[in-house]
């Protein structure tokens, strides 16, 4: 579907994409985390088209992507020392900082909040696009994940085409995303840093730079649609099952004539199993990288239920556990 909109990220395609952004069009592009759906962050009409394309409620804030840290001053009125230290340590990379917004930043970007989300991605295609855009005078590219509202994020160009089809003008192809889940989001708006979303930068690495782990997000944290419980959900009902209970769970479902799709990690496929079975990597990085593609494939298997083998409790699995908890939450309203 709409494969003609997927273009290899040649220098000419990058220049054309930067011009298209400046002219108010939408360009999907790869980042190291997931693909983003980009628009000129200074163009309110273009930003509004992002929300229309995703069918996402207009009051959800979007992250502004920058070519480098020098563009920060155009968007944030203040950069607390901890935020500067994290930017120094992890940019370019899978980290988003929520900072007090500069006076000129519009509500279309911030969802009406007094803060703005900023990130310098490290993917070479994203960097080249942002550099071309900056060379034309652009100050930042607003980009949520390039998925339809309620769906898991895209980790290759075809996922974007499958989700957004004709709603996006150009999809720059940068292959598969290396991180595979979204950026870590840390907010610097109150007295202490707050972890709004675990992601590509591990919490232990944040703690090493900050001197302490950021506080967990309070229940009344500013609206971050990625933190809604039902975010990142496949359409097929999904449940998490301990490794030790996998075989009996799958057998019981099959005995009730339920069609089962399985996302396994350590458990081997039983003889005679005739549903979709995806064997994920055992390590947290490899697992995260392939998670969304696996969920999309299992979702497409027309099963009645997706059974997901639970993952370890250790800190390096924090972001994956967060996404699995959302994928299996079973609530389907108010998704990003």
In angstroms, the CA 106 to CA 308 distance is: 41
Q: Which does 289 bind (CB under 5 to 8 A by kind): Mg ion, ligand TXA, none?
A: none
Whose structure tokens read 């009902």?
237
Which H or E element spans position 129?
A: helix 124-135
Task: With residue 319 as reference, give the H or E element that holds it.
Answer: helix 318-327
The partner in contact with residue 63, picked from Mg ion, ligand TXA, none with C-beta cut-offs of 5 to 8 angstroms by kind, is: ligand TXA
Count CB-CB contacts under 10 A for residue 93: 21
Residue span 18-47 as binding mask against ligand TXA, x where in contact by CB under 6 A, dash where not = -------------x-xx-x-----------
Window 94-113: residues binding ligand TXA (CB under 6 A): 96, 98, 110, 113
Least distance from ligand TXA to the Cβ atom of residue 32, Å? 8
Q: Closest distance between ligand TXA and the C-beta of residue 332, in Å? A: 17
Q: How many residues bind Mg ion (CB under 5 A)?
A: 2
**Shorter beta-carbon distance to ligand TXA: residue 138 or 226:** 226
Q: Does 145 bind Mg ion (CB under 5 A)?
A: yes
- Listing DSSP states for 161-198 in one string gives HHHHGGG-SEEEE--S-SS-SPPEEEE-SSSS-EEEE-
Burial pattern 129-157, b for ≥16 Cβ within 10 A else e, equals bbebbbeeebbbbbbbbbbbbbbbbbbbb
Size of the site for ligand TXA (CB under 6 A): 30
- Give 3-state DSSP helix, strand, coil % of the chain, rounded to 5: 35, 20, 45
Chain residues that interact with ligand TXA, rule: CB under 6 A:
31, 33-34, 36, 60-63, 96, 98, 110, 113, 115-117, 119, 121, 143-145, 182-183, 185, 196, 222, 224-227, 336
Chain residues that interact with Mg ion, rule: CB under 5 A:
145, 336
């Amino acid at each position: 579907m709409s494969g003609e909109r997927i273009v290899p990220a040649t220098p000419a395609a990058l220049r054309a994409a930067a011009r298209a952004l400046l002219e108010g069009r939408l360009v999907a592009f790869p980042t190291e985390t997931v693909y983003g759906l980009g628009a000129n962050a200074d163009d309110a009409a273009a930003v509004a088209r992002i929300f229309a394309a995703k069918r996402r409620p207009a009051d959800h804030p979007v992250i502004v992507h920058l070519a480098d840290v020098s563009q920060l001053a155009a968007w944030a009125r203040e950069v607390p020392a901890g935020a500067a230290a994290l930017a120094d340590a992890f940019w370019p990379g899978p980290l988003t900082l929520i900072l007090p917004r500069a006076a000129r930043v519009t509500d279309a970007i911030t969802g009406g909040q007094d803060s703005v989300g900023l990130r310098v991605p490290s993917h070479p295609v994203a960097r080249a696009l942002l550099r071309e855009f900056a060379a034309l005078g652009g100050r930042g590219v607003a980009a949520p994940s390039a998925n339809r509202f309620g769906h898991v994020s895209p980790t290759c160009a075809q996922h974007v085409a499958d989700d957004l089809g004709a709603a996006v003008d150009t999809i720059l192809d940068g292959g598969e995303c290396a991180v595979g889940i979204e950026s870590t989001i840390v907010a610097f708006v109150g007295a202490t840093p707050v972890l709004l979303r675990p992601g590509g930068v591990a919490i232990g690495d944040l703690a090493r730079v900050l001197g302490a782990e950021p506080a967990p997000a309070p229940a009344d944290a500013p609206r971050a649609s990625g933190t809604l419980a039902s975010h990142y959900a496949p359409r097929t009902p999904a449940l998490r099952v301990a490794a030790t209970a996998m075989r009996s769970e799958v057998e019981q479902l099959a005995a009730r004539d339920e069609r089962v799709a399985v996302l396994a990690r350590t458990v081997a496929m039983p003889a005679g199993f005739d549903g979709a079975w995806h064997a994920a990597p055992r390590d947290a990085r490899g697992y995260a990288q392939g998670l969304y593609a696996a969920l999309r494939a299992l979702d497409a298997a027309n099963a009645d239920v997706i059974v997901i083998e639970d993952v370890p409790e250790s800190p390096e699995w924090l972001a994956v556990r967060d996404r699995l908890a959302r994928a299996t939450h079973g609530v389907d309203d108010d998704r990003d």
